[in-house]
Amino acid sequence: MYSYLGLFLCILFVCCSATPLSLIGSRRSILREVRDNDKNGHPDYAVELNATNFDDVLKDTPSTYAVVEFFAHWCPACRNYKPHYEKVARLFNGPDAVHPGFILMTRVDCASKINNKLCDKFSVGHYPMLFWGHPPKFVGGSWEPDQKKSDIHVIKDAYTADRLLNWINKQLGSSFGLDDQKFENEHLSSNISDPGQIAKAIYDVEEATSTAFDIILDHKMIKPETRTSLIKFLQLLVAHHPSRRCRKGSAELLVSFDDLYPTDFWSTNEHEVDKGSVSNLKICGKDVPRGYWMFCRGSKNDTRGFSCGLWVLLHSLSVKIEDGESQFAFNATCDFVHNFFICEECRQHFYEMCSSVSITFNKARDYALWLWSTHNKVNERLSKEEASLGTGDPKFPKIIWPPKQLCPSCYLGHDHKNNKIEWEQDEVYKFLTNYYGKTLASLYKDKKIVGNDEADRAVKDLIVEASNAIVVPLGAALAIAVASCAFGGLAYYWRSQQKNRKYFHHLHSLKNI
């Protein structure tokens, strides 16, 4: 009877999945270099789309603009144009892109029958035909030659790589060049002068989260003494991560954590995790990490990036917690950095600052301001070291945050004698909650992929409060799975039926977690 029930639920879960299996197989990652090479041995940087993945890829891309080339594989002019198109595409596409995050370069083969309707929607009358616009405008969109106003534009006079790039430069007011090399470009958007740039950091927060967990798994950093701190941090991510797909992935990892790393895992001689199970747990989705940074991109290869993304993640968590979670968030963050941040000197400095705190955080405001102050202390220390060694990023020097041009009301005065800033902390907290909270999430809200607010509120209620910080991975994780139907309610039901007996017989073991 149970086997039939399990089979029925599995079939039902597959049928109700938001993404059909056919689409999963056909959707191509927009951030991974295409492995197919042309006859000259050069990689294809332009992403080839078709009717099954066109909307999905353009909806999910972090790029600000998109170019779509409609072509036919049998067309001699298209074959001759491809090398020109690829010269431009290599600047913007793939993990080695010179200018990542700006433009997604794509191609659609109209000679393929599957694309007939798609090409008709865009009134493709000759090959090759190129279109330009913001990616979401292509989703479910169309184009007619007699349209007076359209958010999608035809690119004309782009028959060579030079002409295409010149057309793009005129649109953006940029100075991209075909000879640009990685990390030597001048087209860098400053996160200081344009506060709206923080919206793009949502992708860097996902990148940093995924990279952090890849490091943890690759270096086998989950041990008896670090197990609890990782569970706490996962609970924090499930409730407050600004990315819905990272919340979902964190919940899935939390549900499976006791199976992957049971409390007696290290007491046996054969403590080896099923590598297949671990590799399938992509904490922010199968396309992350992408291999590049947007908001946190430095002007040099070895600056900013991961550390910047991790700081943005921590700040975004700090402004989302509620008063009852503030001490829990403080402990979870300090323990996570101490146990899992790979830079030894950095984590020791951070943990020393954590250890110097003698108060209990009762208000979310106090914890957010402590983290802000701590970050400024780190920047102050590193700016002196980088200045003496010449290792800083000239385009992104370490500064006291926020600068006056972003938040003039945050500044009360400046003690020049002691070089100390007098802060209006209420204004600072207001700035932090807006910058790392509302503005950071704005891009996701625009794309309508933030998630179900009701489910998110239910998940938040299940996170352990600081007053009794007892970590219960199984119970909390299962409750999280129940509360967030979008995270797989049917999967939870199946798992609970299989494991209920185990949970009730092992409740006493939770005291040791």
Q: Would residue 157 be called left, alpha or beta, if left means φ above 0 and alpha means ψ between -120 and 50 degrees?
A: left
Q: How far apart are CA 350 and CA 374, in angstroms?
A: 8
Report how many helices (DSSP H) and strands (DSSP E) the chain contains, helices first.
20, 7
293, 207 Cβ separation under 8 angstroms: yes
pTM assigned to the model: 0.67
Q: Quick one: which H or E segment has residue 177?
A: none
Across-strand partners of 65?
103
Phi and psi torsions of 155, nearest 5°: -90, 115
Q: What is the pLDDT of residue 446?
A: 55
Q: Which of 107, 101, 99 is nearest to 46 (CA)?
A: 107
Strands lying side by side in the sheet with 129-133: 47-49, 103-109, 65-71, 129-133, 153-155
Three-class SS state of 48: strand
Q: What is the DSSP letter of 337?
A: H
Along the 513 residues of the chain, how does pLDDT read in single tens digits? 544 444 444 444 334 433 343 333 333 344 443 334 444 445 689 999 999 999 989 988 888 899 999 999 998 899 999 999 999 999 998 877 888 888 999 999 999 999 999 999 999 988 999 999 999 999 998 999 887 788 999 998 888 999 999 999 998 888 889 988 765 444 444 445 456 677 778 889 999 999 999 888 888 888 888 889 999 999 999 999 999 889 999 998 888 888 887 776 666 545 555 555 565 678 998 878 888 888 888 877 778 889 999 999 999 999 999 999 999 999 999 999 999 988 888 888 898 999 999 999 999 999 999 999 999 999 999 888 888 888 888 888 888 899 888 889 999 987 777 778 899 999 999 999 999 988 887 766 555 544 445 444 444 444 333 333 334 443 344 444 444 444 444 344 434 443 333 333 332 333 232
Centre a 10 Å sphere on the Cβ of residue 357 and count the other Cβ atoms it contains.
Answer: 13
Place of tokens 């009717």: 51
Cis peptide before 289 (omega within 30 of 0): yes
Q: What is the pLDDT of residue 267?
A: 60
Centre a 10 Å sphere on the Cβ of residue 283 and count the other Cβ atoms it contains.
Answer: 27
Q: Computed over its alpha carbons, how large is the radius of gyration of the chain?
A: 25
Across-strand partners of 476?
none
Q: Which of 280, 177, 248 is nearest to 484 (CA)?
A: 248
Q: How far apart are CA 204 and CA 173, in angstroms?
A: 25
Residue 102 CB contacts under 8 Å (≥ 6 apart), including other chains: 63, 64, 65, 92, 172, 187
Residue 178 CA, distance from chain mean position? 29
Q: How far apart are CA 357 and CA 373, in angstroms?
A: 12
Active-site annotation, residues? 75, 78
Q: How far apart are CA 198 and CA 192, in angstroms?
A: 9
Q: Which domains does the chain have, with CATH numbers?
A: 47-172 (3.40.30.10), 197-264+282-444 (1.20.120.310)
Residue 162 structure tokens: 């030079």
Q: What is the DSSP letter of 43?
A: B
DSSP string, 57-83: HHHH---SEEEEEEE-TT-HHHHHHHH
Q: How far apart are CA 275 and CA 263, in angstroms?
A: 18
Q: How far apart are CA 331 and CA 233, in angstroms?
A: 9
Residue 113 CB contacts under 8 Å (≥ 6 apart), including other chains: none
Q: Which of 464, 461, 16, 459 is nearest to 251 (CA)?
A: 459
Q: How far apart are CA 350 and CA 337, in angstroms?
A: 8
Q: What is the pLDDT of residue 68?
A: 97
Cα 218 to Cα 222, 273, 279, 344, distances in angstroms: 10, 12, 10, 17
Cα 101 to Cα 106, 127, 244, 304, 466, distances in angstroms: 14, 27, 20, 16, 39
Q: What is the pLDDT of residue 134?
A: 92
Q: How far apart are CA 238 and CA 223, in angstroms?
A: 21
